[in-house]
Amino acid sequence: MRQCRSARATRRFACHCKIVDQAFAGAEDVASVGGGLPDGILTGVTLCCPNSFGKGYPVLQKGDVEPLVLRQRGAPAEAGHRALLLHGLGSSESCWDAFAAHRPSGLDLWTAGLPWRAGGPFAIPERDESAWITEAIARVPGGVDVVVAHSYATVLLLALLADAAAGGADPREELGIRGVVLVSPFFRQRPEDFSWAELPGFLDRLRLGAADGIRLMARKSLDPDLRAEMAEHACAQLGPHWVVRYLNAYLRTPFLPVELVGLPVHVIVGDRDPIAPPAEGESLAARLGNASIDRIDDCGHTPMAERPERFSLTVRQFLTTLSAGHPPAAVN
The predicted structure's pLDDT at residue 328: 58
What is the Cα Rg of the chain in Å? 19
Residues 102-127: b if buried by 16+ CB within 10 A, e if exposed: bbbeebbbbbbbbbbbbbbbeeeeee
Domain presence at residue 36? no
Domain presence at residue 258? yes
Domain presence at residue 50? no
Number of domains in the chain: 1
The predicted structure's pLDDT at residue 22: 36
| Average confidence (pLDDT) per 10 residues, the chain, 332 residues | 30 33 35 32 34 31 70 80 95 93 94 92 84 96 96 97 94 93 98 94 86 75 83 84 92 97 96 95 96 96 96 96 66 42
End-to-end alpha carbon distance in the chain: 51
Where residue 303 sits, what CATH number does that domain have? 3.40.50.1820
**In which element (H, E) is residue 52 found?**
none
Sheet holding 265-270, edge to edge: 69-72, 108-113, 82-86, 146-150, 179-183, 265-270, 291-296
Domain presence at residue 29? no
Domain presence at residue 75? yes
Domain presence at residue 285? yes
Q: Are 120 and 113 in contact (CB under 8 A)?
A: yes
Domain presence at residue 276? yes
Beta bridge partners of 12: 31
Q: Are 31 and 97 in contact (CB under 8 A)?
A: no
Distance from C-alpha of 66 to C-alpha of 119, rounded to nearest angstrom:
10
Give the contacts of 138 (CB within 8 A, at least 6 positions apart): none
Beta bridge partners of 270: 296
Residue 277 lies in domain: 69-191+250-324
The predicted structure's pLDDT at residue 59: 32
Q: Is 129 left (phi over 0), alpha (psi -120 to 50) or beta?
A: alpha
Domain presence at residue 290? yes
